[in-house]
Structure 1
Amino acid sequence: MADIPRLRVMFSSRAATRVFGDTTLTELRLALKAQVEGIRIGGHQPFEVWIHEDDPAPAGRTILEGSLDEISRADVVLVLYTGEAGSAEADSSIGICHAELQEALARRRDVVSVIALEPLIEPSADRDEVFQAYVTRRRLIHARVQDRDGLFAVALRLLMQRFVELAKRGARPTGRRVDQGAALDWARLDLPGRAAAMRSALVDALDGVPTEQGVLYTLAPPGLAPARLLLRVDAIPAALGVAAARERVGQPFYTDHLCAGLLEAEDAIGPIHLLACHRGVTESQALRLLGTSNAVAVASEFGVFAAEDVMQTQVVLLAQCVDAGGVMLALRRFLEWLGREGEVSNLLRRARARRAIVAAIASGRDAVGWPEA
């Protein structure tokens, strides 16, 4: 019988730093590795752990290069965070610990866990300050511990949590099913009927104030003042490749100037376009919707977020909105992504600029007596 594959775990941290009194991180990592690899499920070993001490970088390669290779192989990355960025190679402005964490997050954020070993080390170099600001700004810390027992308990809990999450993700279908329940009810509708149901579900999920021009929604991110946004809501009731569905929406930001009066009266910013899509969405489809390739398009679990910095247009395409539950899930994932990745400030900056642009367009049309379509 073939061997059962194991989940590969990488510990990322300093080595010689002393924590919890007088214990080096090397001692802790070796002990934690032994405990994790000692776990058995039905007599089988589910985890194998990689640490620098067991596998120094091969000749001709730097420690960082070896670490980045291991990050690409790891199923789970556990960061033991002391506040130190680590040594810097050549003329790099960031330390090795910072570079490892940055690379792990860029590859797969959802398998990275950060444990803060308190008290954190006071910065001794500029790169330490940069690293601590990076971790704080992105709110990366999952847990804080103050002794060895606390570290081991938290580390094992986080590893088992990742283990279960990976198993569930592997067993989950890639898209939401449309052949049963409420999704089947929506699938039976014609395009106008399905679009109306999707719009209604999105308005309900937002829990804002509906208006003729969109939904007034208050975003209250941690650490920032609450902002009132105007979200123009619509739906694409079939795959984006279906012209009849896509053309129902067109390029809605061309009529944003009609919202100028509401934005001023309600002291709101935007608008931002929020589109529920019945099926999947790609970055290229989002860029075509914006009408330019010179824009930012980011695909994530919720769908695609696209924005361009000339007219400050922002469009959120929520994917797999096959029923009301799918709409709520996609919206929640989008809001979580905004907070997790620190994109709220960028969203609000563009929305404020968009309000000014919309007001200028509306004022210019009024000045020349331009008729509304």
Structure 2
Amino acid sequence: MPIEKVRVMISSRCKDYAAQAGGPFALASLRKQLKARIESEALFGQTPFQCFTNEHEPAKAASRDLWDECLQEIRRSHIVIALYNGDAGWSGEEADDGICHAELNEALYSGRSRTFIVQLPLTTKTPTARDKRFRARFERELHFTGSPTATVADAEALVLQTLAEATANLVRGGATQLRKESYSLGEALDWSRLAYAERKKTMEDACIAALADHAPGTPARITGGATTLPIAGTEVLFCVHGIPAATSLAAAREMVGRPFLADHHHLGTAPKAHGPVHVIACHRGATEKQATDLLGFPDATVVSTGFGIYLVDPVQRIQLVMLANCRDQATTRYAVQRLFDWLDRSSQDEPLAAHAMARGRIVRAIQKEVRGR
């Protein structure tokens, strides 16, 4: 019985070349080779991949143009692999973004975790204004180390390796989602049986243990529901709290309250640290509105991420991290892992440390005022 295919899209220029030692190679040839190789790969006697490259697709209805079809395919695909050579692709007007730029934007906005970039040598053509915009977006959003692929063989091998890793990521991500069906069993059920106060403490203990494991070298020092971790070379105090039921329930939410109002007490436990940053383990989901309600006003930077919500008040430098669906040890540890993955991928570690340093200065000024009464 045939299996449902994993949809893979190769996004790149078609009528362009990339440089290599033996002379330029055509991207059209590389795309054709990749499509044939990907669709012929077998797993236990089945060919699980369907590869989309627009030059090999049949004609579409006149009601939709090629631009719409390409972006629609980006949204439909399970894995998007972009071959980047600095060429933004065609567009109707010079002032418009090119199709490769649009495809990359659509892929990033509709699912960064399924979007992968393979660097090729830059195009030999003189960059246009839209190419320069594309390159600026690439440099701002994506971070790479090392050199671009040097040959066609290197590029093909890297795409296939990327596809293998992407497939493994999809499997792991799907397994994580399937855990939701297991919340009525095992440790998740044990946590659900606990009273609010006991469940809150259990969640906080699991969260702080997961945080402490991210301290390099010697074990992190844990004091009174808080731990210090080095972030971008700065010792940052993380205070951990737990909302033991749905965040929409006032009785559960009020067990945390507004913890930043006691920052002058929290920072007293770690006089050399900066911050604090408040990490709130939520037994259920977390929304942007719940985060701003917790802060007390909506004028703040709020980011919805794979682990939950990150909020920062740019004036008072309060930082809140809400970890969603902390139902047991595994899901709590996974949420913390996703937090640090996001800090690394978004280069948000340095801004987080800078906000923590500023918050520390504010809190120490409050401490002086309190002691001077």
TM-score of the superposed pair, with normalisation by structure 1: 0.82
Match of 1:229, SS? strand
Give, in angstroms, the shift of residue 167 of structure 1. 4.8
Structure 1 residues 22, 178: closer, same or farther in 2, change over 3 A?
closer
Matched, 1:348 2:353: yes
- The 8 Å contact of residues 214 and 233 in structure 1, kept in 2 or not, is answered as yes
Structure 1 residues 257, 170: closer, same or farther in 2, change over 3 A?
closer
Match of 2:239, SS? strand
Matched, 1:219 2:231: yes
Matched, 1:53 2:58: no
- Find the aligned partners of 1:61 and 1:298 in 2 and give their Cα distance: 34
Give, in angstroms, the shift of residue 199 of structure 1. 2.0
- Find the aligned partners of 2:278 and 2:341 in 1 and give their Cα distance: 18
- Find the aligned partners of 1:44 and 1:130 in 2 and give their Cα distance: 42
Structure 1 residues 273, 22: closer, same or farther in 2, change over 3 A?
same
- Find the aligned partners of 2:37 and 2:306 in 1 and give their Cα distance: 34
> What RMSD, in angstroms, separates the aligned Cα atoms of the two structures?
3.3
* 1:77-92 equivalence runs, <5 A: 77-86=80-89, 90=93, 92=95
Aligned to 2:112: 109
Q: Which runs of 5+ in 2 are unaligned?
A: 213-219
- Find the aligned partners of 1:121 and 1:176 in 2 and give their Cα distance: 52
- Find the aligned partners of 1:36 and 1:251 in 2 and give their Cα distance: 52
TM-score of the superposed pair, with normalisation by structure 2: 0.82
- Find the aligned partners of 2:355 and 2:90 in 1 and give their Cα distance: 37
* Deviates most, 280-289 or 56-65: 56-65
Match of 2:202, SS? helix
Identity %: 35
- Find the aligned partners of 1:213 and 1:4 in 2 and give their Cα distance: 49
Structure 1 residues 85, 159: closer, same or farther in 2, change over 3 A?
same
- The 8 Å contact of residues 240 and 285 in structure 1, kept in 2 or not, is answered as yes
- The 8 Å contact of residues 204 and 225 in structure 2, kept in 1 or not, is answered as no
Question: Residue 203 of structure 1: which of 188, 208, 213 is its match?
Answer: 208
Aligned to 1:254: 261
* 1:183-332 equivalence runs, <5 A: 183-207=188-212, 208-212=220-224, 214-220=226-232, 226-259=233-266, 265-266=271-272, 268-332=273-337
> Residues 267-290 of structure 1: CA distance to partner in whole angstroms, max 9, x if unpaired?
x32111011222222222222212
Match of 1:77, SS? strand
Question: Residue 23 of structure 1: which of 25, 29, 44 is its match?
Answer: 25
- Find the aligned partners of 1:176 and 1:304 in 2 and give their Cα distance: 23
- Find the aligned partners of 1:204 and 1:346 in 2 and give their Cα distance: 24
Aligned to 1:177: 182
Count of aligned positions: 360
- The 8 Å contact of residues 260 and 362 in structure 1, kept in 2 or not, is answered as no
- Find the aligned partners of 2:170 and 2:257 in 1 and give their Cα distance: 38
Q: Which runs of 5+ in 1 are unaligned?
A: 221-225
Match of 1:175, SS? helix
Aligned to 1:223: none
- The 8 Å contact of residues 83 and 121 in structure 1, kept in 2 or not, is answered as no
> Residues 29-88 of structure 1: CA distance to partner in whole angstroms, max 9, x if unpaired?
122222223345566543333223235898797764443232122222111122334456
Amino acid at match of 2:276: P
- Find the aligned partners of 2:355 and 2:253 in 1 and give their Cα distance: 25
Give, in angstroms, the shift of residue 107 of structure 1. 0.5
- The 8 Å contact of residues 13 and 81 in structure 1, kept in 2 or not, is answered as yes
Give, in angstroms, the shift of residue 334 of structure 1. 0.7
* Deviates most, 173-182 or 74-83: 173-182
